[in-house]
């Protein structure tokens, strides 16, 4: 038997050897990092050389700020279609969109023959109180002609600080002379939820996921419950052409219809750092039947909601395959110089399905009936997989074994998805509910009139 002093000596030698090995490994890593850093600096020197050559020799004197901004844009755009640089103005515009409120007049507008046409004034807003009507043509803003401006430029001029006035020159059908209408800007809130009773079914149209979406959804459900009463059979949640928005709002909207279970999983570069969002008890619909409408224009946050309700068997997904944007973008402010929108993670549904470049397949495929003028166009929908430079999808459940190429497996599955013919012809949704094939199917499904069709579909899938 070895005596204790000898044991201690051997233990010391072993520990010293391990420490020395660790030190060597750390030194190698440090040297590797230095080498990588040196390579980066050499590339930056190259960038500096090109920049100086452009500044000194280009045929016209370029703007330095524009050159740098374009270079940053090019770097981020090379990563994927959703990473981008936001200059100070673009960053402010993005914040306005996500807040869902701004200083303005309260009108929905479009551009027609070079002037702004009022689609409709929003109830209880300065525009409505000033008497603007649907069909009015706005030709001047503060006596400046609109013709020559884009719609976005005209909208920006109408928006502004709260309590500041603006004068509109309006041409109205039936009036010989243009009207001069003065309006004082107020806080305008964009309602992302449009709700109405379709007989004994509640219809909820979610147009975006901004800071107001969850609160407006709760109000709309409460209102429909009261309006329809005991005859209420269920809800149709319309996510068609909803491009997404805030992740926390998608989680809250999903949670509103769930009692328990995972809602979404996100995973970044370090695959062990998976984040999981779980539902809390409390279903605002009290377990009523739910149908969710999606199409090729349903993306990102919309796909999170549809995927959660589908995987947890809380709702039946109806329509055509969704867009397939399953990546997370983080907004990183840059000290007053705008921000960068950087892709930092992928989304996964509760069962571990990757949404990226694949989308959500509906439980019941219902194609939208197209008008004759659209039938002549290409029937193939465009999704995330059609975007140049898109991220590949991958399966969260598949961990490569020793010797296997996990990236190759992930890329292969995404390429298979790209070869698939997209469901539906487009993200077309008719304005007339009577011509809305998908909506009519969903309403009948809630009423039990399409139960046989749903049963046949699920049987075929199994």
Which range marks the domain in which residue 443 is found? 193-461
Same domain for 213 and 362, yes or no, is yes
User: Would 34 be classed as within a structural domain?
Assistant: no
Pick from 199, 287, 294: nearest CA to 244: 294
State the pLDDT at residue 40.
Answer: 85
Same domain? For 202 and 216 the reply is yes
CATH number for the domain harbouring residue 174: 2.30.42.10
Q: What CA–CA distance (Å, rounded) separates 404 from 383? A: 30
- Residues 413, 442 share a domain: yes
Q: Verify that 291 and 174 share a domain, yes or no.
A: no
Distances (CA, A) of 51 to 42, 46, 57, 73, 84: 14, 9, 10, 15, 21
Dihedral angle computed from the Cα positions of residues 282, 284, 285 and 287, in that order, rounded to the nearest 10 degrees: 0
What are 400's two structure tokens?
């490569």
User: Is 53 within a domain?
Assistant: no
- Calpha distance 95→341 (Å, rounded): 12
pLDDT of 12 reads 38
Q: Angle, to 10 degrees, between the axis of helix 247-256 and the axis of helix 301-311?
A: 30
Residue 262 and residue 331 in one domain = yes
CA dist 425 to 204, 374, 376, 381, 408, Å?
24, 9, 11, 5, 31
Active site residue 380: no
Q: Kindly give the parts of the chain with pLDDT less than 50.
A: 1-25, 27-28, 378-379, 396-425, 454-462
Give Cα separations from 107 to 22, 30, 134, 186 (angstroms).
67, 60, 9, 12
For residues 397 and 267, membership in a common domain is answered with yes
> Is the whole-model pTM more than 0.85?
no
In the listed set 151, 168, 188, which residue is the last one of a domain according to the structure?
Answer: 188
> What pLDDT is recorded for position 303?
97
Q: In this structure, is residue 113 part of a structural domain?
A: yes
pLDDT of the residue at 381: 56
pLDDT computed for residue 408 by the predictor:
35
The CATH number assigned to the domain holding 362 equals 3.90.226.10
Two tokens, residue 191: 């309602």
Which one of the listed residues 311, 358, 363, 381 is annotated catalytic? 311
Strands 186-189 and 84-86: unpaired
3-state secondary structure of 71: helix
Residue 264: other Cβ atoms inside 10 A: 26
Q: Residue 431: inside a domain, yes or no?
A: yes
Same domain, 284 and 167: no
- Active-site residue, from 325, 363, 422, 457: 325
* DSSP designation for 245: B
* Residue 377 bears catalytic tag: no
Of the residues 300, 302, 381, 426, only one is catalytic, namely: 300
Give 263's Cβ-side CA count (13 Å radius).
Answer: 23
Task: Quote the pLDDT of residue 34.
Answer: 53
Residues 199 and 184 in one domain: no
Beta bridge partners of 209: 245
Domain-located, residue 2: no
Residue 237 and residue 174 share a domain: no
Strand ranges (DSSP E) for 209-366?
Answer: 234-238, 262-267, 275-278, 289-294, 316-319, 327-333, 339-348, 364-365
Distance CA 288, CA 280 (A): 17
In the chain, how many domains are there?
2
Q: Is 442 domain-assigned? A: yes
Domain membership flag for residue 390:
yes
Residue 107 and residue 213 in one domain: no
Cα 458 to Cα 80, 112, 318, 454, 462: the distances in Å are 36, 47, 12, 6, 6
- Last residue of one domain, picked from the residues 164, 188, 212: 188
Which are the contacts of 210, defined by CB distance < 8 A and separation ≥ 6?
A: 97, 98, 99, 100, 190, 192, 245, 246, 249
Provide the 8-state DSSP code for 384.
Answer: G
Identify whether 363 is a catalytic site residue.
no
* Claim to verify: residue 215 and residue 234 sit in the same structural domain: yes
In a domain, 180, yes or no: yes
Choose the final residue of a domain: 135, 158, 188: 188
Please give the pLDDT value at position 233: 97
- Looking at the fold, whether 207 and 287 belong to one and the same domain comes out as yes
The span from the CA of 334 to the CA of 72, in Å, is 13
């Amino acid at each position: 038997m070895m005596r204790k002093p000898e044991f201690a000596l051997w233990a010391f030698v072993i520990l010293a050897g391990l420490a020395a090995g660790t030190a060597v490994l750390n030194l190698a890593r440090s040297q590797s990092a230095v080498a990588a850093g040196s390579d980066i600096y050499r590339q930056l020197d190259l960038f500096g050389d090109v920049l100086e050559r452009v500044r000194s020799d280009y045929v016209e004197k370029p703007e330095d700020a524009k050159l740098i901004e374009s270079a940053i844009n090019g770097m981020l755009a090379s990563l994927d279609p959703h990473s981008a640089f936001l200059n100070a103005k673009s960053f402010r515009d993005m914040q306005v969109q996500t807040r869902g409120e701004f200083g303005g007049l309260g009108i929905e507008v479009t551009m027609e023959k070079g002037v702004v046409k009022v689609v409709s004034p929003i109830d209880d807003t300065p525009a409505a109180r000033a008497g603007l009507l649907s069909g009015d043509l706005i030709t001047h803003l503060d006596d400046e002609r609109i013709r020559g401006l884009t719609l976005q430029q005209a909208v920006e001029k109408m928006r502004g600080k709260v309590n500041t006035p603006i004068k509109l020159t309006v041409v109205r059908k039936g009036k010989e002379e243009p009207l001069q209408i003065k309006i004082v800007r107020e806080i305008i809130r964009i309602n992302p939820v449009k709700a109405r009773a379709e007989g004994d079914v509640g219809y909820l149209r979610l147009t975006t996921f901004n800071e107001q979406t969850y609160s407006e959804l709760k109000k709309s459900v409460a209102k429909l419950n009261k309006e329809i009463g005991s005859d209420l059979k269920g809800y149709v949640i319309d996510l068609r052409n909803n491009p997404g928005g805030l992740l926390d709002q998608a989680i809250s909207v999903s949670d509103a219809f769930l009692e328990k279970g995972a809602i979404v999983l996100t995973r970044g570069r370090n695959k062990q750092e998976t984040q999981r969002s779980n539902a809390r008890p409390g279903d605002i619909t009290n377990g009523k039947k739910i149908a969710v409408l999606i199409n090729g224009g349903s993306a990102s946050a919309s796909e999170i909601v549809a995927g959660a309700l589908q995987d947890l068997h809380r709702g039946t997904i109806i329509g055509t395959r969704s867009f397939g944007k399953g990546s997370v973008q983080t907004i990183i402010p840059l000290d007053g110089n705008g921000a960068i929108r950087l892709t930092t993670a992928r989304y996964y549904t509760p069962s571990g399905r990757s949404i990226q470049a694949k989308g959500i397949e509906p439980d019941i495929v219902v194609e939208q009936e197209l008008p004759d003028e659209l039938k002549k166009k290409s029937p193939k929908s465009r999704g995330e997989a059609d975007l140049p430079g898109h991220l590949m999808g991958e399966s969260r459940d598949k961990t490569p074994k020793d010797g296997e190429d996990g990236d190759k497996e992930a890329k292969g599955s995404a390429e298979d998805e790209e070869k698939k013919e997209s469901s539906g012809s487009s993200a077309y949704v008719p304005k007339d509910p009577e011509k809305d094939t998908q909506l009519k199917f969903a309403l009948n499904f809630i009423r039990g009139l399409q139960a046989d069709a749903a049963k046949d579909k699920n049987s075929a899938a199994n």
